[in-house]
Amino acid sequence: MITIQEVLIVFLVGSFFGWAFETIRTWIVNKKFTNKGFLRGIYLPVYGFGAIIVLLISYLEINLFYRILLFLVSITLLEFIGGIIFLKKGIKLWDYDWRYNYKGIISVYSSFLWIILALIFYFFIFPDFKIISNFLFEYKIIKVFILLIYLTICIDFVTRIRKLKHLFPQTFQSS
């Protein structure tokens, strides 16, 4: 059974590694540092949510074909919903400008990449993930550290929304 510790850890790890992946990829392509994403910290929550989806699917007792299909559909759907939400606010956080894409927010290439990353997690990380997350939560200092990271992410999110409040007027209306 999945635990809250696993969800908390996989979200943070996925968010950080997603940020690192995007930062390195952008640096290689554009030859300059760019902090990708809506938030300002060293995390990209869309990758964290994707990691949670992969974790949940990894627990299912299904054959590999259906697992791959679920990875593909669910992570692509997450990327699509996230992309549409920000596009409606006039923010384009990513742009798949190569062939076989939809509005630049999902593409065949990116969906294939998500399957590869999900399978790497499933075969190489998932088998020991419960042991690792349980081990980490045995130490109070690590629990405090994780809490501080989540607090930082929340503050970052609220700060960004307030700076862009003209994009979210219904959030800031007085009653």
State pLDDT tens for residues 1-51: 899 999 999 999 999 999 999 899 888 988 888 888 889 999 999 999 999
Looking at the structure of the chain, the number of domains it has is: 1
Q: If you count them, how many residues does the chain have?
A: 175
Confidence of residue 123 (pLDDT cuts 50, 70, 90): very high
Q: What pLDDT is attached to residue 175? A: 46
Q: What is the pLDDT of residues 75-86, one digit of tens each?
A: 999 999 999 988
Q: What is the 3-state secondary structure (H, E, C) of 96-165?
A: CCCCCEECCCEEHHHHHHHHHHHHHHHHHHHHHHHHHHHHHCCCHHHHHHHHHHHHHHHHHHHHHHHHCH
The DSSP code for 166 is G
Q: Are residues 52 and 20 in contact, defined by beta-carbon separation less than 8 angstroms?
A: no
Structural domain for 83, as ranges? 4-172
Given this model, what pLDDT does residue 165 score? 73
Angle at 121 between CA 4 and CA 19, to 5 degrees: 80
Q: Which two tokens stand for residue 30?
A: 């554009």
Average pLDDT, rounded, for the chain: 90
Q: Which of 134, 121, 132 is nearest to 51 (CA)?
A: 121
Give the pair of three-digit tokens for residue 151: 């607090």
